[in-house]
Amino acid sequence: MKLIKSFIVLVFCLTCHGIKASPEELRQEFIDLMVNEHQFKRTVIESTLAKANKNEVVLQSIAKPWEAKPWFQYFPIFLTEKRLAKGLTFWQTHHQTLARAEQETGVPAEIIVAIIGVETFYGTYQGKYSVLDALVTLGFHYPPRATFFRSELAQLFLLAQEEEFDITELKGSYAGAMGWGQFISSSYRYYAVDFDGDGVRDLLNNPVDAIGSVANYFKKHHWKANNAIAFKAKVSGNQYSALLTQSLKYSHQWSQLQVAGVSITGEELNKDMSVKLFEFEQTNSKEYWVGLPNFYVITRYNHSPLYAMAVFQFSQQLKQEFNVATTAKLND
């Protein structure tokens, strides 16, 4: 742990003084870290990294994420009839597993189904990039978040060792996320569970483990069972604009939003509840929502209010469709 902290401090200090370590220097520091901190053989790390390639498409993709789009361009990517139909089928197929996950963790089935649908269209699109290539590219050639991605690269080596993966064969997103739920290496290590009891935590091929792992991720990030997620709001005056911050942290209470001219219809919130006001750009207008603590939990999965809102709205569509389908089946 001390060595990891020293490594981070070294990189930070170099950056502060305008001194940028070269990719080769970062590579050697990484190798030393894996050898000294995690007891890997130097030849193993060196030979594995030698098989990795810098991927320019990865660098292009991370520079233009979908989350940089305005809301009116973002949500149509995910809120589609095709995804809804696929999600309903997935829920009906795995309804017992989803019910168990909800009972054990408190995370609603519709949230789990929405996450897997948004992330991979129910396992259909898990990513075409070599995870090793992606993390090497971002860890050594993407200064804005290189420290983070080198940490994930270290986690990838540990994950492959623990789960007996062939590290060179793993495929995922341009950011190195893997499997049905698109877990990054550290999330896979810390939050994946063997939900079907076969002795393997398989998020790459097993939807049952994916369901349990997504639920566990939300539980570990303090999802509050049976609590609301977000409410559409109205704003008046101009004081509310001061509450619209880039930070995802909840630094205001509901009473403060009310004083600033924010209101919701048909709901009573505790005046001391931690909440956050969000603004979403429509084609010719602005839309406002009050995010509750569970909305913040969704942003732990992907640090974007656009993502969290898409998941939330998709989950509500899924819940409605599932309830309608279930009722129709009972009436047959």
Give me the residue spans of the domains in the chain.
2-62+130-220, 230-291
Which residues participate in catalysis according to the annotation? 119
Strand partners, 252: 275
pLDDT value of residue 19: 53
Instruction: Quickly name the fold that domain 2-62+130-220 has.
Output: Helicase, Ruva Protein; domain 3 (1.10.8)
Q: Which residues of 87-106 are buried (b: 16+ CB within 10 A; e: fewer)?
A: bbebbeebeebbebbbeebe
For 130-163, write each residue's pLDDT tens digit. Answer: 999 999 999 999 999 999 999 999 999 999 999 9
pLDDT value of residue 65: 86
List the chain residues with pLDDT less than 50. Answer: 1-18
pLDDT value of residue 18: 42
Q: Report the 3 state secondary structure along 104-165.
A: HHCCCHHHHHHHHHHHHCCCCCCCCEEHHHHHHHHHHHCHHHHHHHHHHHHHHHHHHHHHCC
pLDDT value of residue 7: 43
Q: Are 230 and 208 in contact (CB under 8 A)?
A: no
pLDDT value of residue 140: 97
